[in-house]
Structure 1
Amino acid sequence: MPGVKTPVFLCALLLLAACTSAVKEQPYTEDQNRERAKADQTRMYAQQEPVSGSITFYEAAARALKYNLDYRLKLLESALSANLRDVSSHEMLPRLVASAARSGRSNDSGGTSIGIIDRQVSLRPSTSEERYHTIAGLGLSWSTLDFAVAYYRTAQRSDQILMAEERRRKVAQNVLQDVRSAYWRALGAQRLLPQVDGLLARTNDALRQAREAQDRGLLPRQEILAYQRALLDSISLLTQRRQDLEFAQAELRALMSLPPTQPMQLVDVPDPPLPKLSQDLTQLEQVSLVRRPEIQEEWYRQRVNQRDLEIAKAQLWPSVGVDLSTRYDSNNLLYNSHWQAAGIEVSINLLRLLQIPSLNAAQQSQMETDEMRRVALSMAVLTQVRIGALRYSLAMQELQFANESLTVDTNLLDYARSARKTSLGSDLELIRAEGRFLLSRYQREAAQSTAQAAWGRLYNSVGLDVFPATIDNYDLKTLAGEIERITQTVETQKLVDAVPGDGSPSIAK
């Protein structure tokens, strides 16, 4: 077939050229990078309910859970695990393969026969196959080994779905803990920033006046320099505290996935009563061992690891394969162009049986390792519960001390205002008193947020979920109401009892 050789040769050359040519790097252009950055920024804040009015703590928690990117990522990972499980489940089905082919050759196939003893040609050359013919078939095959491996893989995927769900729970718990800490710090910033800015302006004005007095020689140089030093110390301290307050508001915006320039007003209500622990720490430890998502995830991981070894053992079994097919061949020289075929095959790799002792030892070692890892994690969880309770107790004591300090500095400020005169020293004392007062206010707000954060961390260490199981099914307002309802339900279950905010916690022994 001279006409066929040339196209085949050209196709071979093209294929060889494609194989030998290296794939070149294709970096993204600047325009593509800018478009990608713009699209990513748009997706960060897409599909969010607009902020209307002041934000309560429960609305902030609902916004963080509904729009937080880390939490949304865990939701996508859970969905991916479910899809991969569905893919693995289809591997248990038999294989149904349809095939079609067109065959051709440049000359006839065929042959002759010779005698075994005399080596004489006994037949003339003949063929039973046309040069060009079409082959088609539909075959159904099933193997017990493939089914067993697919079954264990699907079981692993199912456990990985549960592991992804536990990771989602952990992220949600961490988000709520961060919101609890950031919200109360941001609320303190909202309360204090106007006063801090006002005092900074008055302090800078006093510093300007002091420098003018120094230039005019109105006061002794040592006295005026000491006065300026005191003012500069106040400005430095106030500026540092102001930065801390601004960082708290920025952190809360990030947790709620709000744009950095988004105006944000928090509901300024009296601080809610802080709870005390009314349950034995031993009971809280038992709850944590049952509820903590890390322990649950580790337990599911143990099953996943065990099934890896079960897959290895399944490959030692005899494999039974069943094949059913229907065939067609357009070769006119065949006696039957259509036929059906069936077959069954049993096979086993005898050398793999030598792996049985090693697999048994590996399975035992894997089980002991997984159990020890889980026990070590459980010990860490128990320590976190104890430390969380102690941290909360210390935070409550710090809050009580901050309240007492604020009361004293409030009285000192009232006294400084009453004793104010026109002298430069009195102005300095008033500024110092106002600075101490604002510092006490800052420390009191910081102690309040620290106590709230310690309480949230104790929630987290126990593994309590104060949010609904399916967050996407709720709008923002309903989700905030559900979080508030579940939180109150947890408190009524005697895990916590509300006490006045200035009380100190009591931990049952």
Structure 2
Amino acid sequence: MPRLALRPLTLTSSLLLCACSVLPPETYTEQDKTDRIRFDRQMMYDQQEPVTHPISFYEAAARALKYNLDYRLKLMESALAADLRDLSSHEMLPQLVASAGLAGRSNDSGGTSVGIEDGEVSLRPSTSEERYRDLSGLGLSWSLLDFGVAYYRNQQKGDQVLMAEERRRKVAQNVLQDVRSAYWRALGAQRLLPEVDKLLARTRLALDSARQAETQGLLPRQQALAYQRALIDSVSLLNQRRQDLEFARAELAALMSLPSGSKMELADTPEPKLPILAQTIDNMEQIALENRPEIMEEWYRKRANQQDIKIAKAEMWPNVSLNWGYNYDSNQYLYNNHWSETGLQVSINLLKILRLPAIQNMEVSQKVTDDTRRVALSMAVLTQVRVGALRYNLAAQEVAFADESLRVDQSLLHYAQAARTSDQGSELEVIRSEGRYLLSRYQREAAYSQAQAAWGRLYNSVGLDVQPEAIAQHDIATLAQAIEYTIKKQENQALLTSNSGVPYALAD
């Protein structure tokens, strides 16, 4: 009879499993895509302060740090790691389990007894259990082994929180470096684009005039073609420079996470003088080894890896379990329907002890690997500091050369304008001079922006932070002031002064 009763249940279960296995995957609809895009766009630009005035460098840095999605992602990862650590701390608590339920069967349970020596039945069949009963209980248990493993896991989660914080610091430093590089190129674009557009329009008009002169025979054909060739080269060069300038503005807007089509005007303030690097290379290397997020992250990773070793060793401990429970059973045949019970159990898996030599070897290998990885990274950091200092020194020299080139081309432009006549050759010379002058201005703006970018890479290579603790709690103006104060303070204390009093000179 029981076997017959199980057949319908088995058949029903099989049919349900077959039905679930043939269900097709559910694809997203066009409306789902539309809703997802609307939600993503809202997340991209939600609660951004509008741009109401020209943006300074420090305001651009503040907007990038506050609204940059990469930085916000790392911030959320840091918060998630902290939540996981808090969650893991609850695993060290004892287990307190409450239970309640019903128990029933189709017939009476019972039994009889037989003699051991003769095998004869000594009792008639009887039962001491009702068919249907109410059961409830409350049990408290604590395991020393589970507590030890949970403790080390919690310590590991704490190190992972610190690692996530170092990654957030690195993203913030990279964002500031990218903003420093893009801002000054975008400011140069804002200054030069109107003049480039005007010169392009004049050059195209002069090119049309040269073609008409060639067609009408006003100039010898070879001279007219040479004239057109020079104008076409000028237009091509100006177009290339114009594209570079446009890309700089687009890159800066993307770093600040501005919505597409937003008007962006930069504050055209006098250029700050390039900082003078007066720190010794040894001091800068020391600062980098103390502050670089990558090195700190590797250091925390080593400690987190050591927790895995401790967990493996803890699993070989004898396990001590303490148990206490309170139970209730409605069975009327019981003499005591309520009772409590306690227990103490000590157990050990003897075969796990065989893992001890392998664990010890792994501990040594893990330590050597972590130290080697950190030392290799430290060496790369020192190389970045040295190369960054050299690059900045060369970039500063390039700015001086660009200033001299700009001065010469400006003088040539003034001479060509003063010597202008009514013939086309003179007009061509003026356009050429204006083109060279604009090109020199572009090269000067590019050299200055490259010097600022080199300074940003050097600043980044020593691992200095610029942002306050809670970026989300500040508006753009307050955050920009905090960033400006921090940058100037750290530059003066860390990069522009030398503890030994001897400046670090890279080149004569």
TM range (shorter): over 0.9
The reply on whether 1:393 has 2:393 as its aligned counterpart is yes
Aligned partner of residue 112 in structure 1, secondary structure:
coil
SS in 1 for 2:471: coil
Q: Structure 1: how far apart are the matches of 2:504 and 2:385?
A: 15
Structure 2: distance between partners of 1:148 and 1:18: 43
Corresponding residue of 1:32: 32
Cα distance in 2, alignment partners of residues 380 and 367 from structure 1: 20
Residue equivalent to 1:343: 343
Aligned-partner Cα distance in 1 for 2:84–2:9: 39
In the other structure, the counterpart of 2:78 is: 78
Residues 468-507 of structure 1: matches in 2 within 5 Å?
Answer: 468-493=468-493, 495-496=495-496, 506-507=505-506
Partner of 2:312: 312
1:473 deviates by 2.5
Q: CA RMSD in A?
A: 1.9
In the superposition, relative to structure 1, how do residues 425 and 151 fare at CA in structure 2: closer, same or farther (>3 Å)? same
Q: Distance in 2 between matches of 1:306 and 1:365?
A: 11
Deviations 1:318-348 (A, max 9, x none): 0000110000111111111110010011000
Partner-residue secondary structure (3-state), 1:277: coil
What is the one-letter code of the residue matched to 1:359?
A: I
Mapped contact 1:128–1:334 kept (Cα < 8 A): yes
Please say if 1:201 is aligned against 2:168.
Answer: no
Residues 278, 504 of structure 2: 8 Å contact kept: no
Give 5+ residue unaligned stretches, structure 2: 498-502
2: CA distance, partners of 1:452 / 1:388: 12
Checking the alignment, whether the CA contact within 8 Å between 2:74 and 2:164 is kept in structure 1 is yes
Q: 1:90 — aligned with what?
A: 90
Structure 2 residue aligned with 1:253: 253
* Aligned counterpart in structure 1 of residue 15 of structure 2, from 17, 29, 32: 17
- Structure 1 CA distance for aligned equivalents of residues 114 and 383 of structure 2: 88
Q: Which amino acid aligns with 1:89?
A: S
In the TM superposition, 1:79-158 aligns within 5 A as 79-158=79-158
Cα distance in 1 for residues equivalent to 2:15 and 2:310: 46
Name the structure 2 match of 1:50: 50
Instruction: Give the structure 2 partner of residue 501 of structure 1.
Output: none
2:193, 2:242 within 8 Å by CA — same for their partners in 1?
yes
Deviation at 1:12, TM superposition (A): 5.1
Change over 3 Å in CA distance of 1:69–1:427 after alignment to 2: same
Contact 1:393–1:505 (Cα < 8 Å) also in 2: no
How far the C-alpha of 1:13 sits from its partner, in A, is 4.4
Moved more, 487-496 or 394-403: 487-496
Contact preservation (8 Å) 2:105, 2:131: yes
- Equivalent-residue separation in structure 1 for 2:236 and 2:260 (angstroms): 26
State whether structure 2 residue 357 is matched by structure 1 residue 357. Answer: yes
Q: CA deviation at 1:17?
A: 2.8
**Cα–Cα, structure 1 residues 508 and 304, in superposed 2: closer, same or farther, change >3 Å?**
farther
Paired position in structure 2 for 1:415:
415
Distance 1:39 1:298 in 2: 36
Q: Give the Cα–Cα distance (whole angstroms) in 2 for the partners of residues 275 and 184 of structure 1.
A: 15
1:424 shift after superposition: 1.1
Residue 275 of structure 1: SS of its match in structure 2?
A: coil
CA distance 1:87–1:9, change in 2 (3 Å):
farther
Task: Please state how far the C-alpha of 1:494 moved relative to its aligned partner.
Answer: 5.4
Question: Under a length normalisation based on structure 2, what TM-score does the superposition of the two structures give?
Answer: 0.96
**What residue identity is the alignment partner of 1:344?**
L
In structure 2, do the counterparts of structure 1 residues 116 and 505 end up closer, same or farther at CA, with 3 Å as the change threshold? closer
For residues 174 and 100 of structure 2, what CA distance do their matches in structure 1 show?
57
Hey, what's the Cα distance between the residues in 2 that align with 1:492 and 1:171? 23
* Cα distance between partner residues in 2 of 1:505 and 1:281: 6
Deviation at 1:470, TM superposition (A): 2.2
Match of 2:466 in 1: 466
How many angstroms apart in 2 are the aligned matches of 1:176 and 1:485?
A: 14
Rounded to whole Å, the distance in 1 between the matches of 2:122 and 2:504 is 108
Q: What SS class does the counterpart of residue 472 from structure 1 fall into?
A: helix
User: Partner letter of residue 332 of structure 1?
Assistant: Q
Give 1:256's aligned amino acid. M
Q: For 1:125, give the aligned amino acid.
A: P
One-letter identity of the residue aligned with 2:317? W
**Contact kept in structure 1, 2:416 and 2:430, CA below 8 Å:** yes
Q: CA deviation at 1:251?
A: 0.5
Q: Offset at 1:506?
A: 4.1
What residue in structure 2 maps to residue 290 of structure 1? 290
Conservation of the 8 A alpha-carbon contact between 1:292 and 1:463: yes
SS in 2 for 1:316: coil
Q: CA deviation at 1:139?
A: 0.3
The 2-side partners of 1:339 and 1:370 are apart by 55
Render the CA deviation track for 1:364-407: whole Å, top value 9, x for unaligned: 11001000100000000000000000000111111111111101
What is the Cα deviation at residue 9 of structure 1? Answer: 6.6
Is 348-357 or 217-226 further displaced after alignment?
217-226
Q: Which deviates further from its counterpart, 17-26 or 132-141?
A: 17-26
Give the drift of 1:14.
4.3
TM-score by length of 1: 0.95
Report the CA distance between 1:466 and its aligned residue: 2.1
1:295 and 1:378 in contact (8 A); partners too: yes
Specify the alignment match of 1:182 in structure 2.
182
1:275 paired residue number:
275
Task: Supply the distance in 2 between the matched residues of 1:331 and 1:494 (Cα, whole angstroms).
Answer: 80
1: CA distance between counterparts of 2:487 and 2:494?
12
Structure 2: distance between partners of 1:106 and 1:129: 13
Question: Which SS does the other structure have where 1:324 is aligned?
Answer: strand
Q: Distance in 1 between matches of 2:303 and 2:492?
A: 36
Question: Secondary structure at 2:260's aligned position in 1?
Answer: coil
Q: Deviations over 1:140-179 (max 9, x none)?
A: 0000011011101100110111001100100000000000
Which stretch has the larger CA shift, 344-353 or 221-230? Answer: 221-230
Between the two proteins, the alignment pairs up a number of residues equal to 501
Q: Where does the alignment leave 5 or more consecutive residues of structure 1 unmatched?
A: 498-503
CA distance in 1, matches of 2:9, 2:414: 96
What residue number does 1:500 align with?
none
| Letter of the structure 2 residue corresponding to residue 158 of structure 1 | G
Question: What displacement does 1:425 show?
Answer: 0.9
CA distance in 1: counterparts of 2:16 and 2:289, whole angstroms: 59
Q: What code does the residue aligned with 2:72 have?
A: R
Give the secondary structure class of the aligned counterpart of 1:327: strand
Per-residue deviation, residues 12-64 of structure 1 (Å, max 9, x unmatched): 54443332322421121122112211221122111111111111111111111
Cα distance in 2 for residues equivalent to 1:256 and 1:170:
17
Once the two structures are superposed, the pairs formed by residues 163-182 of structure 1 within 5 Å of their partners are: 163-182=163-182
